[in-house]
Structures are given as C-alpha cells and as structure tokens.
Amino acid sequence: MQASDTRSSAPLLALAGLTKIFGTLKACDAISLEIAPGEIHALLGENGAGKSTLVKMLFGVLAPDAGQIVWKGEPVSINSPFAARHLGIGMVFQHFSLFEALTVAENIALSLDDSVPIGQIAERARALSEGYGLPLDPYALVADLSVGERQRIEIVRTLLQDPQLIILDEPTSVLTPQEADRLFETLEKLRSEGRSILYISHRLEEVRRICDRATVLRHGKVVGACDPRQETVASLARMMVGGDVADVTIGANAGDGRVLIETRRLSLPARTPFAVSLKDIDLTVHSGEVVAIAGVAGNGQSELFDALSGEVTTSRADAVRLAGQDVGRKGITERRLLGCGFVPEERHGHGAVSQMKLSDNMVLARHASDAKTFLGGGLGLLKRDAVWAATERVIKAMDVRKSGVDPHASALSGGNLQKFIMGRELDRNLSVLIVNQPTWGVDAGAASRIRQAIVDLAKSGAAVVVISQDLDEVFEIAHSIAVIHHGRLSASEPARTLTRERIGLLMGGAAPEADTVPEAAHAH
C-alpha cells in the first residue's frame, strides 16, 4: 500500500500539548498528534469534544494558550489564516466561509495571494475544478448554488493554493451518499499526489472506509489513537462517547389508523430571493406513525416546517390538515390549541430566545395552550409560579443540565437546550409533533434521549414528522421516509424496504419511480 510507504518518513505536522482555554472551559487540553505525508488522518469526536477548536488553532483563526505546532520538523507559530496558507495548510470549512452576494471567482480570489492577477483566477479555477472532477462556473453567484456546489468552491479554493495538508471539517454532512462517493474519489486522488488530509467527522463508517489513522478526542483530550480499519464501528463509538449509548428502536406502528397530519398539493412561493418555494407537497401521517423527511440542507426543509407549523400560512385552508381540521389559513397559535407541537431547527432565536430565562422560554411556546394555568385576570398577568412549576417538570423529565436556578437559554449547551425545547412540547398532550433536525449539533447521549422521546410519543398514538439530514437518524426512528428536493417531496416509502442508495438518488433529484427499481442506481 502506498500509504504505508510514506508513513515511515518524518511527520508533516506534529502537535505537542496544544491547549486552548475559554473562560473556565478547557476546549483543548494538551493535545498531541502526528500526521504523516500522504495519509488521511481522521479526527474523531462528539460535538463539543474540541475538534473545531483544534482545527481553528491549526488554521490560525484561534491562538493557542499553550503547546507547540511543528511543521516539517520546524516549530511554527500560525497567527493568521494567511500564515497557515503560506505554510501549505488549506481548510474546507463545515459551515462554509462563502459570500453569497459574490461570484464564485470573487470568492476564490479572496483566499489567494494578491500576486495572482484577478483576471486569471476565473480560468484557473475552471481548469482545476474540472481536473479534479468538481466542475464549477466561475461567474455564477454563490447564492444561486446548491450545497454540494458550494462545497466544491471551498475545495477548489483550497486546492488553488497547492496545499500539503488539507483540513476537511465534516465534509459529508451536507452531501448525498453519491456526492460523498465522488468526494472520496477526489480525496484518494489527492492522497496519491502525496498530500495529507486531516478528516474531521463523527461518521464512523466513512472513517473506516477512507482513513489511514484516527485520533479520538473527548472533552478536549486525546483518548485514543488507532487504525480505524482494525476497529469496528461500535468500538470507535465507545472510544468517542466514552461508554455505550442506548440504541433507539422503533416498533411497529401501534396507532389507530386516523390521519393526523395531511398536506394536499401544498405550494408556497419563495419569500426571499434566496429561499426555496414549495411545490405540490402531498404528505400523510397516521396516528402512531413517524415519517421522516430526508434531504440535503436548503431544499425547502425550513419552508416546509414553517408551512406545517403555521408560521407561514397558505392561501388554501385545506392545503394543510392537522388533527382532523383544515388549518392552512390558521396561525401557529390556533394549531397549537389543536394539540400540535413544533420544534424548529434553529434553537437560538427561533425555538428559544437566547437572552431570556428558561421559564420565559416556557411562556414563549405555551402562553396560548396553557393560558388557563399561566395567565390570570383580563389583563393577561403572568403567573410566574405556575410557569416555573411547568419549567421544573420539563427540566426533570428531560434531565436538562444547567447552572443556576433559572438560567438564560444562552447559558445552556446545545444538547441541553434542545432537550428543554423538546420537553416543552412533550410535556403537553400532543397528538401531532413536527420536528426539524431534532439532534443537529447535539451530543450522543442527548441525541439518544431525544430520539427515544420521539419514538415514545408515537407509541402513545401521536403522529410525528421528523425533518432530518442525518440518514442514520432517519433509519433509526422512522416508519416511513420521504425525500425533499428543490421544494418537492417524494412519495413516502416504508423504511424497511428503502436502501441508502435509493435515498441518495432521491436526495440528488434523480428520482426514478418507486416500482421500477432502477438499473441506474446499481450502476453507481
């Protein structure tokens, strides 16, 4: 194997005792690792394990508080991304550092030296992107591009600087399985050119598939280093989480067959120039059923959530039916009064107000449904005691960890705030629950608890829609699965008979009919 030849040589990059402290939190605690030339090195860890902080120090965005970075045997200080690029370190960000209002060529120009004439960038970008099988139009506006195309810009932008080490932060989390396969081909090609790759992920299957070595982080510390090919997914997961995580299983649909969520030819025009319009969406969810909606980010998920929750109303009343009533023209408050609960994707500034206490955030979603207990008198006086009692109930039921009695939402970790927001809805008697990305950016323990709560709710007879980009999650908790692409929803199919391959094709918009099982899909 080529990789084992190169591994014997001196490391390209070595970290010794790298540490970063935020206030009282040691985000990175004396991290040491080595990356050999020509290897794909995985950096594994849960959300909050310190992966992003480490990478930001490598790329000169954050300054380390202690420790040393050794590049090709020389200790170096990297105090800006320019310095990192100058050394030969390139970075592909998870949340892309792109500029929507600028063109592809302008985006690329921003990360190149001033010595490169601006007129040549477009042509060089076009040539390079085609060479690596990542075609791009340099004059297109980024705002008009899909997530996959945006990632290509990031990669091409990095490659134009001819880096020896490329850092990829969760690159496949936004791709369809087929797009991910194509990315892996590109990575193989880069490795064969002798470049090293630091591959950050929590997707263990793909780490086992493409990485030569792995370093595992937990709570800011290195807790293991291994050859992922010698490990199982389960052993990697244990290393990452530091224990076993309870599996969630969904049983057979135990509902009474009533239709509780239904959309009929639901269409919505795009509200802003950058938004997606919804086109003729038909969806039916029965009592006791969990339907997952998969799809690549930015294909109309949040628009669909808004239409189901009533934050945006439709012109036809029968376009949306919830709990047996036409609610298309009714707002979110009236839908809640029918026993519907909603959990949006964004926690801060949508599901919760960051600079408000948990008890205030309780009132946020339940002032109407719980008006009898929370409000008094004709003036709408808030009864703080009753609100606090409900808040405490939710905190206990969902095991929300917090500091202080009633902290601001901003003071909670992502996982704990998500547990609170979920619990706030589950604490009511729901017949319908709509959730968008329930475990996005949440640690494994909290994610498992949230998924279990969704499954339990369905068992009690409620109908649940889970919009999620996470295919593992989709298969874990859904009875049936539909895929959203460019604002259109595929017909939902039973999870048991659906393959990842077929979902991938649907996510990419290549949607063959369900009954003519595709030859093309096998060819890929």
Partner 1 sequence: MGFYEAVLISVMTAATPLVLAAIGELVVERSGVLNLGVEGMMIMGAVCAFAGAQISGSPFIGVLCGMIAGGAFSLLFGFLTLTLVANQVATGLALTILGLGLSGMIGESFIGLPGVRLPVLDIPFLSDIPVIGRIVFGQDLLFYASIGLVIGVAWFLFRTRAGLRLRAIGDNHGSAHALGVSVIRVRYLAVLFGGVCSGLAGAHLSLVYTPQWVENMSAGRGWIALALVVFASWRPLRLLAGAYLFGAVSIGGLHAQALGVGIPSQFVSMLPYLATIVVLVLISMDRRLTLINRPASLGQPFVPER
Partner 2 sequence: MRIELEKRPERSKLFSILSPFIALGLTLIVGAVLFLALGKNPAEAMFYFFIDPLLVGWSLHELAIKATPLILIAVGLSVCFRSNNWNIGAEGQFVMGAIAGSIIPVMFHGWESPLVLPLMMISGAIGGALYATIPALLKARFNTNEILTSLMLVYVAQLFLDWLVRGPWRNPEGFNFPETRNFNASAILPEILDGGRAHWGLIFAIVAALATWFMMRSTLKGFEISVLGQSARAGRFAGFSATKMVFFAFLFSGAMAGLAGIAEVSGAIGQLRPVISPGYGFTAIIVAFLGRLNPLGIVAAGLVLALTYLGGEAAQISIGVSDKVARLFQGALLFFVLACDTLIHYRIRLRSTAKVANVAAAPVQSPAPVEAR
Q: Which residues bind partner 2 (CB under 8 A)?
A: 23, 63-69, 77, 79, 309, 311, 331-333, 336, 342, 344, 346, 349-356, 360, 363-365, 367-368, 375, 379-382, 404, 407-408, 410-411
Dihedral pair phi/psi, residue 418, rounded to 5°: -65, -40
Residue 521: contacted member of partner 1, partner 2, none (CB under 5 to 8 Å, by partner type): none
Q: In this complex, which beta carbon is closest to partner 2, that of residue 246 or of residue 337?
A: 337
Residue 104 is encoded by which pair of tokens? 């592809």
Residue 352: contacted member of partner 1, partner 2, none (CB under 5 to 8 Å, by partner type): partner 2
- Least CB distance to partner 1 at residue 77 (A): 14
The rounded distance, in Å, linking the Cα atoms of 268 and 328 is 11
Is 28 within 8 Å of 20 (Cβ atoms)? Answer: yes
Residue 306 is encoded by which pair of tokens? 């808004």
- Least CB distance to partner 2 at residue 403 (A): 8
Angle of helix 358-366 relative to helix 384-398, nearest 10 degrees, comes to 100
Residue 81: contacted member of partner 2, partner 1, none (CB under 5 to 8 Å, by partner type): partner 1
Q: In this complex, which beta carbon is closest to partner 2, that of residue 110 or of residue 381?
A: 381
The rounded distance, in Å, linking the Cα atoms of 52 and 57 is 9
Is 421 within 8 Å of 352 (Cβ atoms)? Answer: yes
Q: Which of 93, 103, 106, 111 is nearest to 143 (CA)?
A: 103
The rounded distance, in Å, linking the Cα atoms of 412 and 108 is 37
Total length of the chain: 524
Q: In this complex, which beta carbon is closest to partner 1, that of residue 139 or of residue 274?
A: 274
Helix extents (H) in 212-315: 233-241, 301-309
- Least CB distance to partner 2 at residue 327 (A): 13
Task: Calculate the alpha carbon distances from 213 to 4, 42, 48 in Å.
Answer: 11, 6, 21
The separation between CA 235 and the C-alpha centre of its own chain, rounded to angstroms, equals 23
The rounded distance, in Å, linking the Cα atoms of 308 and 124 is 45
Q: In this complex, which beta carbon is closest to partner 1, that of residue 119 or of residue 257?
A: 119
The rounded distance, in Å, linking the Cα atoms of 409 and 394 is 14
Q: Which of 27, 450, 444 is nearest to 243 (CA)?
A: 444
Question: Residue 177: which region, alpha, beta or left (left: phi > 0; alpha: psi -120 to 50)?
Answer: alpha
Residue 502: contacted member of partner 1, partner 2, none (CB under 5 to 8 Å, by partner type): none
Q: In this complex, which beta carbon is closest to partner 1, that of residue 33 or of residue 98?
A: 98
Residue 354: contacted member of partner 1, partner 2, none (CB under 5 to 8 Å, by partner type): partner 2
- Least CB distance to partner 1 at residue 106 (A): 6
Residue 225: contacted member of partner 1, partner 2, none (CB under 5 to 8 Å, by partner type): none
The rounded distance, in Å, linking the Cα atoms of 84 and 90 is 7
Is 464 within 8 Å of 433 (Cβ atoms)? Answer: yes
Residue 326: contacted member of partner 2, partner 1, none (CB under 5 to 8 Å, by partner type): none
Residue 261 is encoded by which pair of tokens? 């969520």
- Least CB distance to partner 2 at residue 390 (A): 15
Residue 273: contacted member of partner 2, partner 1, none (CB under 5 to 8 Å, by partner type): partner 1
Amino acid, res. 491: A
- Least CB distance to partner 2 at residue 189 (A): 34
User: Any residues with CB less than 8 A from the CB of 192 and at least 6 apart, and which?
Assistant: 2
- Least CB distance to partner 2 at residue 54 (A): 14
Q: In this complex, which beta carbon is closest to partner 1, that of residue 99 or of residue 139?
A: 99
The rounded distance, in Å, linking the Cα atoms of 346 and 349 is 7
Q: In this complex, which beta carbon is closest to partner 1, that of residue 55 or of residue 261?
A: 55
Q: In this complex, which beta carbon is closest to partner 1, that of residue 23 or of residue 378?
A: 23
- Which residues of the shown chain bind partner 1 in the complex (CB under 8 A)? 60-63, 80-82, 85, 93, 96-102, 106, 109-111, 114, 118, 272-274
Residue 8 is encoded by which pair of tokens? 């014997």
Residue 364: contacted member of partner 2, partner 1, none (CB under 5 to 8 Å, by partner type): partner 2
- Strands (DSSP E) contained in 336-448 are 340-343, 375-376, 381-382, 432-436
- Least CB distance to partner 2 at residue 82 (A): 13
- Least CB distance to partner 2 at residue 73 (A): 16
- Least CB distance to partner 2 at residue 365 (A): 7
User: Any residues with CB less than 8 A from the CB of 190 and at least 6 apart, and which?
Assistant: 166, 197
Q: In this complex, which beta carbon is closest to partner 1, that of residue 62 or of residue 207?
A: 62
- Least CB distance to partner 1 at residue 92 (A): 11
User: Any residues with CB less than 8 A from the CB of 191 and at least 6 apart, and which?
Assistant: 2, 3, 38, 39, 40, 197
- Least CB distance to partner 1 at residue 302 (A): 17
Q: In this complex, which beta carbon is closest to partner 1, that of residue 115 or of residue 403?
A: 115
Residue 102: contacted member of partner 2, partner 1, none (CB under 5 to 8 Å, by partner type): partner 1
Residue 309: contacted member of partner 2, partner 1, none (CB under 5 to 8 Å, by partner type): partner 2
Eight-class DSSP state of 500: H
Q: In this complex, which beta carbon is closest to partner 2, that of residue 315 or of residue 410?
A: 410
Residue 93: contacted member of partner 1, partner 2, none (CB under 5 to 8 Å, by partner type): partner 1
Q: In this complex, which beta carbon is closest to partner 2, that of residue 243 or of residue 404?
A: 404
Eight-class DSSP state of 115: T
